[in-house]
Amino acid sequence: MTTLLLLLVVVFLQTSGGAQSSGSQQTWQGYVTDTHCGTNCQITKDMAPDKKCIDRCVRKGSKYGLWVGHHVYVLEPQSKAAHYAAKDVSVTGTLDDETIHIDSIEPGKQAANLKPESN
């Protein structure tokens, strides 16, 4: 009985694609970081990833990624993500395994709500 139940679970996961792959459009909120340092990237006083660290890692071959919670997804195309390094963003696109294919990327709500200080 246990073997049959295990087999049914495996078949279900294979046919459903699991939680990692989805062809439907989704929106994620997070910081653009790099896949080398990921969530361990140097953090600024504002608790955002350090842009200099990200730029250095990307120059050495890392890819831009989206830091969401405790996970970093690869962002494609890289050219769309590059402009937002170390910034809070909202990304709309499709997830293919560990890669988000970007349809749109824009400053996140936190960044949009920031107003310049007046002296």
User: CA 53, CA 20: separation in Å to the nearest integer?
Assistant: 28
Name the token pair of 95: 């997830």
Q: What is the pTM of this model?
A: 0.71
Beta bridge partners of 68: 71
User: CA 89, CA 9: separation in Å to the nearest integer?
Assistant: 36
CA 99 and chain centroid, separation: 8
What single-letter amino acid sits at 8?
Answer: L
pLDDT at 21: 53
Domains in the chain (CATH in brackets) are 19-113 (2.40.50)
Low-confidence ranges of the chain (pLDDT < 70): 1-22, 41-47, 110-119
